[in-house]
Chain A
Amino acid sequence: GAVVSQHPSRVICKSGTSVKIECRSLDFQATTMFWYRQFPKQSLMLMATSNEGSKATYEQGVEKDKFLINHASLTLSTLTVTSAHPEDSSFYICSARPRGVANYGYTFGSGTRLTVV
C-alpha cells in the first residue's frame, strides 16, 4: 500500500529558530500533498495544499511567510516553520494524493510533534 514517511517524528527547538519537516511518498508519486496542524484534543486543520512544481495554496489565516512549503519533486514536500514561537508548538501531519488516483483516500504521514521552547 501507499506509504508516507514523515521526519522528524519529534523536534524541540528554541524560540526564533526555524524547523524543517519532510514528507516523502515512499512507493508512489504524489502530485499533491497536504499539510495539517493538530492542537491537543482537537481535529486536523488544513494549513496548505502543495502541488508539485507550483506554489502552495494556503488556507485562510495561515501565514505563508511563516510556514514555507516546498514541493520540488513528486515524492517530497517540506514544511519549514520559520522564526518559531511557543504558540507554533503543535502536531504537524502531512498527507499525499497519489498521481493518477481520483478518489480521496489519501495516506497520512505519522506526524511531527514540534515543541518550541
Chain B
Amino acid sequence: GQQLNQSPQSMFIQEGEDVSMNCTSSSIFNTWLWYKQDPGEGPVLLIALYKAGELTSNGRLTAQFGITRKDSFLNISASIPSDVGIYFCAGPPPEGAQKLVFGQGTRLTINP
C-alpha cells in the first residue's frame, strides 16, 4: 500500500505566489525525490535528496530532507503558469528495494 502521504492534495493559487507542499511517512526513508508530471506525460525528476537535513535548490524550487527522515517538503517561489501540474514525492521503501513508492500527488493550479 501507499507509504507516503502528501499534502495538500490540490492547490489553487495566483500567479506569483509561493507554494509549499510536503510529504510524510510513518517509516524512515533514506532518499526523497520530488517529481513533476504534466498531463499525459511521465514524471520528470525535479530534486533528489539523499541526506537528512539536506536543503537543495533547483531554480525557483527548494526541497528539504527532514531531520527525522520521515518527511520532506517542496517549495516553489514566485509561481508561473508553467508550474501547473502534479507534484509527487517518491522514495525507495524502507525494505531497501530498488523500486520507488509514490505519494498521492499535489495538483497545482495557477490562476493568471
| A residues lining the B interface (CB < 8 Å) | 4, 6, 32, 34, 41-46, 49, 91, 93, 95, 97, 103-111, 113
Contacts and interface: CB of A to CB of B under 8 A. Distances in A.
Interface of B: 2, 31, 33, 35, 40-45, 48, 50, 88, 91-92, 97-105, 107
Contact of A106 (B40, B41, B100, B105): B100
A108 B98 CA distance: 15
A105 B41 CA distance: 17
Contacts, number: 55
Secondary structure dominating the interface of B: loop
B50 A44 contact: no
Contacts of B105: 43
Contacts of A43: 2, 88, 102-105
B2 A104 contact: no
Given A43-B105, A44-B88, A113-B40, A105 B99 contact: no
From B2, B40, B88, name the one whose CB has the most chain A CB atoms within 10 angstroms.
B40
In order of increasing CB-CB distance, the 4 nearest A-B pairs are A108-B42, A105-B48, A44-B102, A43-B102
